[in-house]
Every structure is written in structure tokens, then in C-alpha cells.
């Protein structure tokens, strides 16, 4: 991790973090609040969200922390949340698409999408589109997309004939594809926003000891994480560092960069499938069709 000359001051900036009631999202929200930002944290469960909001205020000493209710497994919820946000907040300087999950059996969202593709990619795709004009109007602004090294687990890329994994499903593969979709989305959005003052970067947070994969979603992974995780994995605060860096650093090599894939405080090459610009454009058009937007 690079050393910072001085902590950036985010006073007057509005930051939105999805999945901020837990793990990396909570730590990201707390760090950005500590830098002075007004932080909007989203949670799908309001009770968990309220407890996390209180924790973020306590850790950061900043009470400009607001909870929004967002279930990324429901396009109606995404639309409701975006309408509420646009009504409540005149500006959006940083959007951190952090929420995500892994499941070991095939499930579907309210709208009938395979859950990991639907939550990790499609819900965030629609959310970002609905907030896009506000990000541009608030420029300089930033989008941080939390992906995973798991995007490398699918060297063959997206399965264009079976995006919803209806013909065959393996949890790790479907998760890897949803995280590859995050990388392709970030790069395509960065390309579309060149010249607007909005930067877009994808982040792998490292292997982090959170609730990820432990909520009855995955059998063997849950056992491994709860048994050994705390000895070998990064803390949520460590996992949040690269997201926070990209969301806040004023250093030129961070603030001026877009379309990157970052981890452990520096830029890396994503997989070959993650660099496939044609796949990015195809995924964009297909995602727009699936969520009911004009591409």
C-alpha cells in the first residue's frame, strides 16, 4: 500500500456505499466518514443498517451518515432507492458499488435473474445508470466497483448463451462470472465517461475476513472462513483500503486514473477476459435490455 502524504479532506462531498452494513462496506463507510464526507450507507435489512450506521458514526466521529434501504435483488427496490437518493441529495461525488454475495446453489432474484449475476452485476448496473447524470453533474466524481480476483476463475469469459446459469450452475463459476461482469462494466463505463470528470475503477479487496459466504450461502467456504479465516485473512479495514484510496486520494496517479483494476493499493492487469472491450460493450447492451433501459 502506498504511503499517503496527507489524509484527503472529503468535507462537503457526498459518498454512497452499497452493502455498507457489513464487512468491507462498513469499513469503507467508516473510513470515508472519518475523512469528513457525508456518507449514505445502504442496507437491504433496515435493522442491520441502523446498527451499522450507529457503528460508523461511533468509529468516525462524523454524524453526517444516512441510511438508505436498497435490495439489489429487486429492480423495483433499486428504482425506489435511486429516486429517494436523487430527491434527498443534490450531489454525488463517490459511488462505491460494494455489495455482493456468493451462493452454492442456484437462486433467483425477484425479477428472475440468477442471484449473483442479478445482485453483484445487474442491480448495480441499473443503480449506476440511474445515478449517472448526478455523478456527471457533480464532477469531479468517482465510481469504485468492488470486484474480485475470482474474475480470473472464468478464463473463457461470460457464457453469452446462458448468462443466468439455467443450463448448468456451479457456485464458484457463477460468482466468477458476476465478478468478471463487474470488471467489464467498470471498464466500459470508464470508456463512456471519458472527458466528463467521472473516473471509474474496479477493486479486488484481497481475501478478507467478513460475513462473505458464511450466511448459510456456502457450505465448505463458510466452514473454512469461520474456522480459519481470522488467522489468515485480512481485516475488513485492510480490505477497505484500496476502495478508500480510489474514492478519496488526491494523488495524481490515483485521482487521474480511470478504467483500472486495482488491488493492494496499486493497479494490475485484469484477466484477458476482463480486458475484452467487445465483451464489455455486449454485456452493457444485454444488461440494459434485461433491466429495461435503452442502451
Ligand X SMILES: NC(=O)c1ccc[n+]([C@@H]2O[C@H](COP(=O)([O-])OP(=O)(O)OC[C@H]3O[C@@H](n4cnc5c(N)ncnc54)[C@H](OP(=O)(O)O)[C@@H]3O)[C@@H](O)[C@H]2O)c1
Q: Write out the catalytic residue numbers.
A: 175
Judged by CB under 6 A, the residue of 31, 71, 104, 129 near ligand X is 71
The reply to whether 68 sits near ligand X by the rule CB under 6 A is no
Indicate whether 95 belongs to the interface with ligand X (CB under 6 A): no
The verdict on 210 binding ligand X (CB under 6 A) reads yes
Which residues within the stretch 132-151 sit at the binding site for ligand X (CB under 6 A)? 146, 148
Which residue(s) pair with 268 in the sheet? Answer: 261
Nearer to ligand X, 24 or 36 (CB): 24
Rounded (5°) CA angle 245-209-43: 70
Q: C-beta of 111: minimal distance to ligand X in Å?
A: 12
- Residue 123 C-alpha cell reads as 442491480
In this structure, is the dihedral angle defined by the CA atoms of residues 188, 194, 199 and 203, taken in order, positive or negative? positive
Stretch that binds ligand X, among 18-26, 32-40, 135-143, 272-280 (CB under 6 A): 18-26
Single residue of 36, 68, 171, 205 touching ligand X by CB under 6 A: 205
**Rounded-to-integer distance, Cα 19 and Cα 210, Å:** 12
Q: What is the DSSP string of 109-147?
A: -TTS-BHHIIIIIIIHHHHHHHHHHHHHHT-SEEEEEE-
**If you search the block for the grid coordinates 429495461, which residue do you land on?**
292
Q: Which stretch binds ligand X (CB under 6 A): 19-27, 185-193, 255-263, 275-283?
A: 19-27
Distance CA(180)–CA(274), nearest Å, equals: 6
CA distance 54 to 50: 6
User: Contact between 154 and ligand X (CB under 6 A)?
Assistant: no
> With binding defined as CB under 6 A, does residue 241 bind ligand X?
no
Q: Map the footprint of ligand X across residues 113-132, applying CB under 6 A.
A: 119
Q: Which one, 161 or 216, has the nearer CB to ligand X?
A: 216
CB of 260 to ligand X, least distance (A): 16
Tell me if 22 contacts ligand X by CB under 6 A: yes
Which part of the chain contacts ligand X (CB under 6 A), choosing from 85-93, 98-106, 191-199, 244-252?
Answer: 98-106
Q: Which of 64, 69, 192, 207 binds ligand X (CB under 6 A)?
A: 207
Give the cell for residue 258: 480511470
291 lies in the binding site for ligand X (CB under 6 A): no
Q: How far apart are CA 72 and CA 81, in angstroms?
A: 10
Nearer residue to ligand X within complex by CB, 215 or 250: 215
φ, ψ at 89 (rounded to 5°): -125, 125
C-alpha distances (whole Å) from 289 to each of 56, 113, 164 are 37, 13, 14
The C-alpha cell at 68 is 438508505
Contacts with 221 (C-beta within 8 Å, 6 or more apart), sequence order: 102, 104, 213, 214
99 binds ligand X (CB under 6 A): yes
Q: Length of the chain in residues, anyone?
A: 295
CB of 69 to ligand X, least distance (A): 9
Chain residues that interact with ligand X, rule: CB under 6 A: 19, 21-25, 44-45, 48, 70-73, 98-101, 119, 146, 148, 204-205, 207-208, 210-212
Amino acid at each position: 500500500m502506498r504511503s499517503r502524504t496527507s489524509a484527503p479532506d472529503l468535507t462537503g462531498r457526498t459518498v454512497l456505499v452499497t452493502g455498507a452494513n457489513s464487512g468491507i462496506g462498513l469499513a469503507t463507510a467508516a473510513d470515508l466518514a472519518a475523512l469528513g464526507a457525508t456518507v449514505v450507507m445502504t442496507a437491504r435489512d433496515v435493522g442491520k443498517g441502523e446498527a451499522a450506521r450507529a457503528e460508523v458514526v461511533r468509529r468516525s466521529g462524523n454524524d453526517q451518515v444516512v441510511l438508505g434501504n436498497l435490495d439489489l435483488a429487486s429492480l423495483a427496490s433499486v428504482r425506489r432507492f435511486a429516486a429517494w437518493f436523487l430527491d434527498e441529495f443534490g450531489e454525488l461525488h463517490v459511488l462505491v458499488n460494494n455489495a455482493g454475495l456468493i451462493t452454492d446453489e442456484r437462486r433467483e432474484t425477484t425479477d428472475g435473474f440468477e442471484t449473483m449475476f442479478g445482485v453483484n452485476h445487474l442491480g448495480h448496473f441499473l443503480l449506476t445508470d440511474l445515478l449517472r447524470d448526478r455523478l456527471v453533474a457533480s464532477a469531479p466524481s468517482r465510481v469504485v466497483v468492488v470486484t474480485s480476483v475470482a474474475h480470473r476463475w472464468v478464463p473463457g469469459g461470460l457464457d453469452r448463451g446462458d448468462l443466468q446459469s439455467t443450463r448448468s450452475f456451479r457456485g464458484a463459476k457463477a460468482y466468477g462470472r458476476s465478478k468478471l461482469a463487474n470488471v467489464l462494466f467498470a471498464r466500459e463505463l470508464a470508456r463512456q465517461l471519458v472527458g466528463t470528470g467521472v473516473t471509474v475503477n474496479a477493486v479486488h479487496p484481497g481475501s478478507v475476513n467478513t460475513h462473505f459466504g458464511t450466511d448459510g450461502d456456502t457450505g465448505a467456504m463458510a466452514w473454512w472462513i469461520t474456522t480459519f479465516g481470522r488467522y489468515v485473512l485480512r481485516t475488513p479495514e485492510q480490505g477497505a483500503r484500496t476502495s478508500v484510496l480510489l474514492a478519496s486520494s488526491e494523488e495524481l496517479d490515483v485521482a487521474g486514473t480511470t478504467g483500472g483494476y486495482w488491488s493492494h493499493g496499486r493497479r494490475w492487469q485484469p484477466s484477458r477476459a476482463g480486458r475484452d472491450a467487445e465483451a464489455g460493450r455486449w454485456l452493457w447492451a444485454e444488461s440494459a435490455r434485461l433491466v429495461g433501459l435503452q442502451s
